[in-house]
Amino acid sequence: MRAIDRKLLRDARRLKSQLVAIALVMACGVGAFLMAVSASRSLEATQAAYYERAAFAHVFAQCKRAPLSLADRVREVPGVAAVDPRVVVSVNLDLPGMFEPAAGLIVSIPEREEPVLNRLHLRRGRLPQPGRPGEVVVSEAFAEAHGMNPGFTFGAVINGRLERLSVVGVALSPEFVYSLRPGGFVPDDRRYGVMWMRRDQLAPSFDLDGAFNNLAVAVSPGASEAAIIDAIDRLTAPYGGESAYGRSEQVSHRYVTDELSQLRNMVRVTPPVFLAVAAMLINIVISRLVRTQREQIALLRAFGYTQADVGRHFLALVAMVGALGALLGIVLGATMGSLLTGLYVRFFRFPELRYHMEVWVALLAVGVTIGAACLGAGWSVLRAMRLAPADAMRPEAPAVYRPSIVERLGLDRTLWPSAKMVLRHLQRHKVRTAVSMLGVAATVAILTLGSFVNDAIDTLIDLEFHTAQRQDVLVTFNEPRSTRALHELRAAPGVIAAEPFRVVPARLWNGPRLRREALQGVPADAELRRVVDHRFREVPIPPDGLVISAGLAELLDARAGDELFVETLEGQRPTLRVRVHRIVENYVGTGAYIDMDALNRAMGQGPTLSGAALTVDAAAAARLYNELKHTPGVATVTIKRAALESFEQTLAENLLTMRLFNLAFACVIAVGVVYNTARILYAERAHELATLRVLGFYRTEIAGIFLGELAVVTLVALPVGMAAGYALCGAATWAMQTETHRIPFVVAGRTLAFAGTVVLLVATTTAMFVRQDLDRLNLIEVLKART
Amino acid sequence: MPSGRATTRPPAGTAAFSARGVTKVYRMGEVEVRALDGVDLDLFAGEFVVLLGPSGSGKSTLLNILGGLDVPTSGTVRYRDHDLSRLDDRALTRFRREHVGFVFQFYNLVPSLTARENVALVTDISADPMPADEALSLVGLGERMDSFPAQLSGGEQQRVAIARAVAKRPDVLLCDEPTGALDVKTGKVVLRAIARANEQLGTTAVVITHNAAIAAIADRVVHLSGGRVARVETNTSRMSTDDLSW
Ligand SMILES: Nc1ncnc2c1ncn2[C@@H]1O[C@H](COP(=O)(O)OP(=O)(O)OP(=O)(O)O)[C@@H](O)[C@H]1O
Ligand SMILES: [Mg+2]
């Protein structure tokens, strides 16, 4: 080994704890990057493979009742590869041990064979036997939530009659990787399940013998999906067809895809912050190293080492840190990536979710990390290379101190000399002070970012569940009903108030732009289900005209005052021209709201409702639920409290995991920054502080000076970090928004306080750790040395 | 434990320090270095003592022990009624704070503080200090009080160090090669400042030097050799610093 390399290793060993701290910060950045990238790529690959294997359909269409022969005509449409005409119905379920109603979706499979599209992947048991009544296969999520196994039986209200279903198998379907009940935010597998039955057992109960009400269509490679959708719409229109749609509007597919894009977006915010902090730390450590080694560098140059040798020497040290950081980061990223992928398994039901990290991704991370490290060190290394041997032999000119800004402002009279020492020293090392402050601020910002999602969700819950939806129970009917149904509901046990609503599926056109969207008919004096904007303000619905959500406005490129062309997809299917009266800012989903009476008039109907919102006397709830379970025509019963609970529980678990990651990451940054700052400070100040000890200062007093400097750095950084965190949250809400969902940009005071407190604690602990060295200062040693 | 700050100085002629059998052993693995090997010595209040001896003879070690920077391996060092060899770190710090002024070869000024503030550093924590300006005038630096160390010459820096040491009116002034890094002329100015503190404030002064000529300005000269007191000379008359030459 060459002597210069030996020096490198000795330097590295001497600085090891500082360098390791920096490598850890890098590892967090690399880890976060690899976690997000590898998890999203694993999920993508899993999704693609599963869709392929299970022949997931490309286009879906719903209609009232179409003869099976229509399916053959669809099959003839150019570009259509396969068609599966199905019966898909929603039913109310009567599950053992649940007094609340649960809903189910039953999808038919062919009488004898397996489905050609959306093939089932059996986890347990078998498919229903042809001709055997009451046999169903249930989705795995639903089965798990109820501990169902083959042999389990439960009741379902099928077309008004309570029938017993018996589970023969548990399966997965590409259509329901993510299963969400209509109107839900998160899966609620206890109250909503998907099941499959042979069509001959299902169709007669719904008067769909020899007919279908749902189409799944596979498109040949290269064929135009839009053209096929158009063709299908034309064919199904006479049979009550609702507009066909592609995968992009299929609930399960869209959620999985949205989740993947959010995961990819995560990469844009956190990892760069970590790498930047690590680069800054490298900068302060290497610039100090170069400063203290001036004479050694000069000596090397005098002996004939070239500039390049000197540059290589220091860059090698930096590359070592980068490599260590990248290596740890890969391990961390792989661990967290597979953990995260595991988390997804609970929501995304794939037959198998295989986690893998591609080599090129890992190599990319290594390259970027070493690059960032070298960038951080660049300037100092250049300075080392440029040192003229003769210059460097002389010790660096003594540091020039000046009265600090505080003093020049005339505020110094009250300052003790020790306070002046702190301020002047900070000012003398402006760059390093700034870097340290930025580092600490970054920690505060990252912590804020990690916690604000809670605030956002609280706001969402408050808005959705407490301000907009004030009902206890939401009931929807299979078919639009007359006001008699409303009176019946009002007379049901425990019902205090019932408010009707009307929903009509439609296609909205603004010029060439099209969007499938249900028109929501809101009664004039709505009290229970109201339209509320993102500022919690109720939005009145005009007697004529539409109120549409901002997301929908964007999709349609519509502005207030524009006239939309509305093709309704129910009953007589009248087409309407409606003016957009107002655009309402909201967070979740898209919506088009219209006065209920106006909607009914436009549909050529008298007072009609699609469902009702109820307030319920809790004492009588059980009786009400029981009655609703057995009421024909009731499609779904949604209990708000239950929905809220499942929402909060699901999110709480996920958020907790993410917050713990974030907390750990932020602590690593805080330790890395404070530790390096403290170490360098210590190296620079040891001599001075020892002198003070000789002059009769107590340990606590010099510790005060030492810690004072760190305290100033930290305390100034806190508000800066909070402001940066606020901005970062803004960036994150922007990065995480999808076409239809946005996250409220709310940062609560307690979130900022939490971030500040954590950083203060970590900084204090780290500083106290370094402070211990102050107690071991060798006074006599110090006095022998020239400064 | 030391009492509170002495309001009265020990009368001249009484022993301020008395060292008995003071031994300091440094152990480095197998090797033992006896820096001090049974030193017996009394230093009297108000006297000016010069410590002479070859390099490695234990001068600095002795001075550091007298000043409470270090403790002997064995033997006792009494400063008036305190046994320095038995004090813990905190009590030693308090002893230094209340009674001792130090001056070192390399000045050891705080670079981020001006001359005046370097002095104030000490006067702020003493019970009965002289104003910083006065201490600086005493060493002839009344004009440069607001300069930072980097803006002062070596001799000026050393005088600031002396001002810093005397400003708290210490009972003893301990100087380890205060002129070591200075030329003759500047060295004399520095020595004059020490002598002045000794005469005008009655401070006991102990000065280590390699320069035998300086011994002429002392009341007594202590010769160390191999960690022992080789001999002690008493000058019948002290030379003025102005008449020194080397
Ligand atoms: N920390 C230490 N560890 C080991 N040995 C030490 C230590 N400090 C001093 N010594 C040894 O103790 C002896 C006395 O040292 P001291 O510094 O007192 O000498 P000195 O008389 O002041 O010399 P000089 O005139 O060169 O300053 C020397 O041999 C030295 O090597
Ligand atoms: Mg010495």
Q: Would you call A694 an interface residue with chain B, using a CB distance cutoff of 8 Å?
A: yes
For residue B9, is pLDDT > 90?
A: no
For the CA of B59, the closest atom of ligand 1 is 21
User: For residue A537, what pLDDT is reported?
Assistant: 92
User: For residue B47, what pLDDT is reported?
Assistant: 93
Compute the average pLDDT of residues B211-223: 90
When comparing pLDDT for A269 and B208, which is higher?
A: B208
Query: For the complex shown, is ipTM > 0.95?
Result: no
User: For residue B79, what pLDDT is reported?
Assistant: 92
pLDDT band at B3 (very low <50, low <70, confident <90, very high): very low
Q: What is the DSSP string of A566-626?
A: EEE-STT--EEEEEEEEEE--SBS--EEEEHHHHHHHTT-SSEEEEEEEEE-GGGHHHHHH
> pLDDT tens-digit profile of B161-174?
989 998 989 999 99
Q: Is B183 helix (H, G, I), strand (E, B) or coil?
A: coil
User: For residue B1, what pLDDT is reported?
Assistant: 38
Compute the average pLDDT of residues A588-597: 90
Compute the average pLDDT of residues A438-451: 87
Among A185-189, B116-120, B130-134, the least confident range: A185-189
With CA atoms as reference, the chain A residue closest to B96 would be A696
When comparing pLDDT for B245 and A445, which is higher?
A: A445
pLDDT band at B2 (very low <50, low <70, confident <90, very high): very low
If you average pLDDT over every residue of chain A, what do you get? 88
Query: What is the number of residues in chain A?
Result: 787
User: For residue A415, what pLDDT is reported?
Assistant: 66
Compute the average pLDDT of residues B24-46: 91
pLDDT band at B126 (very low <50, low <70, confident <90, very high): confident
For residue B5, is pLDDT > 70?
A: no
- Percent residues over pLDDT 70 in chain A: 96
> pLDDT tens-digit profile of A664-689?
888 888 888 889 888 888 888 888 88
How many CB contacts within 8 angstroms connect chain A with chain B? 87
CB contact under 8 A, B112 and A401: yes
Could you tell me how far CA A626 lies from the centroid of its own chain? 38
For residue A647, is pLDDT > 50?
A: yes
Chain A hits for B120, Cβ within 8 Å = 417
- Structural domains in chain B, CATH included, are 46-67+90-243 (3.40.50.300)
Distance A783 CA to ligand 1 centre (A): 12
Give the whole-angstrom CA distance, residue A20 versus residue A697. 34
Compute the average pLDDT of residues B83-94: 89
Which residues have C-beta within 8 Å of that of residue A294, sequence separation ≥ 6? A387, A392, A395, A396
Distance B177 CA to ligand 2 centre (A): 7
Compute the average pLDDT of residues A111-133: 94
When comparing pLDDT for A32 and A498, which is higher?
A: A498
Which residue spans within B29-149 are E strands per DSSP? 31-44, 48-52, 74-79, 82-83, 100-103
For residue A173, is pLDDT > 80?
A: yes
With CA atoms as reference, the chain B residue closest to A698 would be B93
For residue A640, is pLDDT > 60?
A: yes
User: For residue A615, what pLDDT is reported?
Assistant: 95
Compute the average pLDDT of residues A107-125: 94
Domain boundaries, chain A: 1-58+250-397, 59-249, 429-469+654-787, 470-639
DSSP state of A462: I
pLDDT band at A410 (very low <50, low <70, confident <90, very high): low
For the CA of B62, the closest atom of ligand 1 is 18
Give the whole-angstrom CA distance, residue A318 versus residue A479. 70
> pLDDT tens-digit profile of B63-81?
999 999 889 999 999 998 8
Compute the average pLDDT of residues A69-78: 95
Compute the average pLDDT of residues A308-317: 90
**Is the sign of the CA dihedral A784, B2, B4, B5 positive or negative?**
negative
User: For residue A392, what pLDDT is reported?
Assistant: 58
If you average pLDDT over every residue of chain B, what do you get? 87
Q: Residues in chain B whose beta carbon is closer than 8 A to a beta carbon of chain A? A: 60, 64, 67, 69-70, 89-90, 93-94, 96-98, 100, 102, 104, 106, 108-113, 117-118, 120-122, 124-125, 148-150, 164, 176
User: For residue B6, what pLDDT is reported?
Assistant: 39
